[in-house]
Amino acid sequence: MDTTLLCVGDVVGSPGRHIVTKALPKISADRGVDCNIVNVENAAAGSGLTPVLYDKFVSAGVQLMTLGDHVYRRKEIIKTLETSDNIIRPANLAPNAPGRQFAIHETERGVRVAVFTVLGSLFMRLSVDCPFRAADRVLASIPSDVHIIVAEIHAEATSEKIAMGWHLDGRVSVVFGTHTHVQTADECILPEGSAFISDLGMTGPHDSVLGRDRKKVLSAMTTSVPTPFDVAEHDNRLNGLLVVVDSETGRAKSVERVSHLGEDRL
């Protein structure tokens, strides 16, 4: 039996939430998705997540949620992180950081899927533990009867993401990168059976600079005068990766980039 996973890249603001709500159920039905995993760390006006938005993602059919360096940007989400079993914080933060280091979802067919996230250590603002050691530690904590494991590396450096792919090849089903908001074209199945992509890309407005109003970003970059980077509005897309995994071995069988255009695309 195979299990189909849909991994969705960083959801940015209300445009990103809108396309997840509208497109995710249709993609899941059309492609036979058993479990979808969505990075939601930019969902609240472009930075962080709130309990209300968490509930909306659950209602939209999101089964597993991940967060990155903006995990605690909205402090009201901390209680949700401590009490909900389908949302995780990066595993290489401080040991006392609130939230789960991995989560497990059981599909309708009884297959269990685990997910965990680590933050990259290169060019990131947060001080974190070694992502490679953290990944090893979390893997040792996941029950041995969970055969499908998805690893996310939320990082700036492509080199670090690729290195993590090689580090985890054969030990997880999927390794995907997030954070840079630009979908890469290097999707593949590594030699030992792990699907990989350096970055899933952004889910949100692409008539923008990484989801932000391009005029305001250009103004700040060309004048050196700070200005709020409001979330953009147009050319809405859902980006991610579709992976078919052998449910018994946990090895990836096929991998496909997804870029779904929203109805409001201009």
Residue 215 lies in a domain: no
Give the pTM: 0.95
Residue 246 lies in a domain: yes
Domain that holds residue 64: 2-203+238-260
Give the percent of the chain with pLDDT over 70. Answer: 98
Residue 119 lies in a domain: yes
Query: pLDDT at position 194, please?
Result: 98
What are the CB-based long-range contacts (under 8 Å, 24+) for 180-187? 180/156, 180/210, 181/9, 181/10, 181/12, 181/210, 181/211, 182/210, 183/9, 183/239, 183/257, 183/259, 184/158, 185/257, 186/162, 187/241, 187/255, 187/256, 187/257
Residue 187 lies in a domain: yes
Give the percent of the chain with pLDDT over 90. Answer: 95
**Of these residues, 18, 70, 179, 181, which one is catalytic?**
70
Is 206 annotated in the active site? no
Residue 211 lies in a domain: no
Q: At 156, is the pLDDT very low, low, confident or very high (cuts 50, 70, 90)?
A: very high
Query: pLDDT at position 266, please?
Result: 35
Cβ atoms within 10 A of the Cβ of 18, count?
18
Residue 107 lies in a domain: yes
Number of domains in the chain: 1
Q: At 265, is the pLDDT very low, low, confident or very high (cuts 50, 70, 90)?
A: very low
pLDDT digits (tens, 9 = 90+) for 100-144: 999 999 999 999 999 999 999 998 877 799 999 999 999 999 999
Query: pLDDT at position 254, please?
Result: 98
Residue 103 lies in a domain: yes
pLDDT digits (tens, 9 = 90+) for 206-246: 999 999 999 999 999 999 999 899 999 999 999 999 999 99
Identify the CATH number of the domain in which residue 97 sits: 3.60.21.10
User: Quick check: 264 pLDDT over 60?
Assistant: no
Residue 78 lies in a domain: yes
